[in-house]
Structure 1
Amino acid sequence: MDDIFTNLLKLTTYISDRFLKFLEDLVLRDAIRGRENFRATPLISSQHNSKETTSLQPPQVGGENNEICGRRAFNNNNSELLVDTRSVIIKASYVSAALPSFLLKGLTLPLLGLQYAWSLGVTSCRYSFSCIKCAQLHVHRIRSRVLKTLRGSADDIGWLQHAPGMPLAQDGTSRFLELLSDIRNGKHSLPSSFVYLLIPGLFSNHGPLYFVATKRFFSKMGLACHIAKVHSEASVEHNALELKQYIEEIYWGSGKPVMLLGHSKGGIDAAAALSLYWSDLKDKVAGLALVQSPYGGTPIASDILREGQIGDKEARRILELIICKIIKGDIRALEDLTYERRKEFIMKHKLPLGIPLISFHSEASIAPSVLATMTQIAHAELPRLVLPKFVSKVSDSFVKSGHQVPVLIPASAAMAVFALHLQLRYGEKSDGLVTCRDAEVPGSVVVRPNMKLDHAWMVYSSKKKNPSEPDAREMCQALFTLLVELGKTEREVEQIV
């Protein structure tokens, strides 16, 4: 039994000794790591460093317990555990070396916290300032958009009168009124030596009444008159090329020079054809009359399509949907009527000087009676159709007389609303779409009739409501007659020179 207890005691002592050695090795390893992480400071003397270096050297003692270094020995007489003083010295040395570094790091922690707090505060301030700056930029953009929207076309209307290098216009209103009075009294002096070409304006493809009555009126007088078949919703340059080809076909087919009369965008297309292809058309075109044409541009198109104003992208998408998708046209047809595009085109392509030129503009009525009447009765002269005869006497009389059909068009009231808008916003007189100053072409003979004619009168006034007022057919004839006179005057001047 004593041997058994003795062996158990030895085994327990051995296990305890190994466990304590394991703990010492862990402490020693941590001390070495701390010394590597926190380098020895000047507070540690070189003597300590030399001792530590000596103590860290592994013993070279042989024997069966050579791998155990400085462990505790078991005393059989006293049965007590003796502690190796070398390990205590090593631990004390490393603790004394690592303690100042720990203290120094502990002192630097508040400084690091203050530095972190300062960085966080600076970052927060910078972020706040950036947010304030972004808000200021956003407010500035909104403000500029609002001001640009409110300003509109106030700086662009009438720019032709102030553009450098533009020839002066002459007033031909009195002579035009004389010729108009003679025509209304039955005196017609238009020669048959010309072909008269009528050029409709924007959206004319959807207006079957455009120039129909005027063409028939000229045909009854034995004059060769045509309506240009162009895609009115196309760009100005595209229509200029089509008109150039159309004029050449007419000239080579008839052998007669062509007189041009363009209404609204049709006048712009005709002027562009002369500006771009004058070398090919100078012997084929005898004169040009621009009737209510936005030669300098129109505030309606510019205010809708101007970039940088409120709702500019939305307005453009709506117009592209209407013009491109529904009407199957080109958005450039409307863009070419803006002030920006007109300035660019006119400065680059000027009208030729050696051609009779007339610009005609009028003023729409903004009377309350016109504004309140949201309809305008126009008479469409349709070709004779074979209609079935009914028993009713009304239908028989309609078949015999039957080619005038009343059509309700709210054009007059719409033009009056637009004219009132331009009058109140810009203080400019207009026909509803084109201001009077933008319709005057530099170097032309300007006709300013003292009549209340809106922009759509050329389309729907095929039958005059008031016998005392002239209609579009008679006024077109007066304009062509004035063009013929201007051409004769220029030829006489050339012969004298």
Structure 2
Amino acid sequence: MDATDTNKEESRIGITANDDAMRTGQITPPLFPSVPALNGAASYFAETTSYLTSCFPVNSDIAPTSYDGTEVVGIKELKEPLLSSNAPPSHDVITRNSDRPQNNIAIVPSDQTSQSGISMFQGLIERVRKTVHGSSDDIGWLQRAPGMPPIEDGTERFNNILDNIMHGIHVLPNSMVYLLVPGLFSNHGPLYFTSTKATFSKMGLTCHIAKIHSEASVEKNAREIKEYIEEVYWGSKKRVLLLGHSKGGVDAAAALSMYWPDLRDKVAGLALAQSPYGGSPIASDIMREGQIGDYFNVRKLMEILICKVIKGDLQALEDLTYEKRKEFLRKHQLPKELPVVSFHTEANISPAVLATLSRVAHAELPAFTNSAATVLPVVVPLGATLAACAQLLQTRYGEKSDGLVTCRDAEVPGSVVVHPKRKLDHAWMVYSSTNDDPLEPDASQVCEALLTLVVEVGLRNKHYLSVKQE
């Protein structure tokens, strides 16, 4: 066997060894442990790319010599896991006969091509890695952030309060004003929070729904909520207890974080229901570069919908991404003395939920006689849509969610956390379902129980503070 054949054999052995290492999991870990088909495809792509990049030699000013007298040229090969960017690059080698100088001259133009080829494949690998990885490192980042206060589980106490409410025991004081803060797209859902407000009014409680632009940025809405709280307080001389749903909870928390010196004596507490306080993987995957928003033009479609159709601000969706939430919470955090309750749920993803419809509005048919006009409910398959989103988040990230917000991202550090066993999607809190069980509590009763728990937390904190001062 001559030197040329020996070189080819050594190159073949190096490539085969590298492929075996990949198949045994030494180089590329499983990307989709819960989806074997996708995991196999990703592994095959990594092996193919590694082989192709090994075909491009890298230029070297001084080539080292191996033990058999042949010249050795380093080959830059991707051996790092697709889900990690910290592993140092390793090198494979090929050999060529140093007694054939004409090869050195011929390889010079191919070096530039090889660098371009390697950069192309590495760029492709990085793009695939970013797409596959998505929001994996971001979900639940608040629990891992240093210096964050611990949470307290208040589910048991919440269930006791809710049971009392269903038996006609209501303890919310009339000495406060209750402000409901709606979330994204609430301006286009006429029934948003209306049943809760009506229930509170029947109990003799003063309740308002904050009139904010639901598709405005967090900071803009925070300013409007601050002014709304001051107006309510000056008119009633009563402290305000807030409950925000979805982005409304983020907006309300931003108002209290940014303007606490002005609102300290005017606010009694805050409840966040299904709010992406830490961020939302749905918003991040739509807005983040290299994600679904790029490949299917979802970001462009959302821009047209929010900015052109409903005259909103795309910043409203951008503010719910992990990057923006991290940036905001580095500057503004909720005051420690504020009583806070955070509520999150898990959506039902069973096949039966595909038939679930939600009432979002009422349509009034014109009366052709002296009889009253006929009112028909406007229903949409929100339950089925949110169930599909929850299944997507479960499959891709292994995370439980209500369809839009993961359970971990809805937990506010330092708050009393409520997580009921009942399966409820993101829209249930504000839009009633056509197949709700009459024996189960409705959304207005859940809101009442959450606010009652906030009042209890505030009284407990006040008692602890007085004892500490004594």
TM-score (norm: length of structure 1): 0.70
Name the residue aligned to 1:344.
327
Give the 5 Å matches for 1:186-335: 186-309=168-291, 312=294, 314-335=297-318
State the superposition RMSD in angstroms.
Answer: 2.3
Deviation track 1:134-171 (CA, whole Å, cap 9, x = no partner) reads 23222211211111101111111111111100000001
The 8 Å contact of residues 212 and 381 in structure 1, kept in 2 or not, is answered as: no
Give the 5 Å matches for 1:21-170: 127-170=109-152
In the alignment, does 2:362 pair up with 1:378? no
**Distance of 1:235 and 1:289 partners within structure 2:** 20
Deviation track 1:163-189 (CA, whole Å, cap 9, x = no partner) reads 100000001111111111111111111
Deviation track 1:84-113 (CA, whole Å, cap 9, x = no partner) reads xxxxxxxxxxxxxxxxxxxxxxxxxxxxxx
User: Residue 261 of structure 2: SS of its match in structure 1?
Assistant: helix
| Letter of the structure 2 residue corresponding to residue 336 of structure 1 | D
User: Residue 272 of structure 2: SS of its match in structure 1?
Assistant: strand
User: Residue 268 of structure 2: SS of its match in structure 1?
Assistant: strand
**Greater share of helix:** 1
**Distance of 1:175 and 1:438 partners within structure 2:** 22
Given the superposition, is the C-alpha separation of residues 496 and 278 from structure 1 closer, same or farther in structure 2, using an over 3 Å criterion? Answer: same
Q: Percent identity?
A: 60
The 8 Å contact of residues 203 and 232 in structure 1, kept in 2 or not, is answered as: yes
Kindly name which structure, 1 or 2, has the bigger radius of gyration based on alpha carbons.
1
Given the superposition, is the C-alpha separation of residues 379 and 153 from structure 1 closer, same or farther in structure 2, using an over 3 Å criterion? Answer: closer
User: Residue 258 of structure 1: SS of its match in structure 2?
Assistant: strand
User: Residue 450 of structure 1: SS of its match in structure 2?
Assistant: coil
Given the superposition, is the C-alpha separation of residues 186 and 152 from structure 1 closer, same or farther in structure 2, using an over 3 Å criterion? Answer: same
The 8 Å contact of residues 146 and 309 in structure 1, kept in 2 or not, is answered as: no
**Distance of 1:328 and 1:363 partners within structure 2:** 32
**Distance of 1:390 and 1:154 partners within structure 2:** 60
Name the residue aligned to 1:390.
369
Name the residue aligned to 1:179.
161
**Distance of 1:486 and 1:201 partners within structure 2:** 24
| Letter of the structure 1 residue corresponding to residue 359 of structure 2 | A
| Letter of the structure 2 residue corresponding to residue 349 of structure 1 | H
Name the residue aligned to 1:86.
none
Name the residue aligned to 1:489.
460
In the alignment, does 2:408 pair up with 1:437? yes
What number of residue pairs does the alignment pair up? 366
Name the residue aligned to 2:436.
465
How many angstroms does 1:316 deviate by?
A: 2.9
How many angstroms does 1:350 deviate by?
A: 1.0
Name the residue aligned to 1:46.
none
The 8 Å contact of residues 380 and 462 in structure 1, kept in 2 or not, is answered as: no
**Distance of 2:209 and 2:434 partners within structure 1:** 19
How many angstroms does 1:390 deviate by?
A: 2.4
How many angstroms does 1:233 deviate by?
A: 0.7
**Distance of 1:345 and 1:479 partners within structure 2:** 26
How many angstroms does 1:308 deviate by?
A: 3.9
Deviation track 1:204-247 (CA, whole Å, cap 9, x = no partner) reads 11111110111111111111100001111111111111110111
| Letter of the structure 2 residue corresponding to residue 230 of structure 1 | I
**Distance of 1:491 and 1:303 partners within structure 2:** 42
| Letter of the structure 1 residue corresponding to residue 143 of structure 2 | Q
User: Residue 179 of structure 2: SS of its match in structure 1?
Assistant: strand
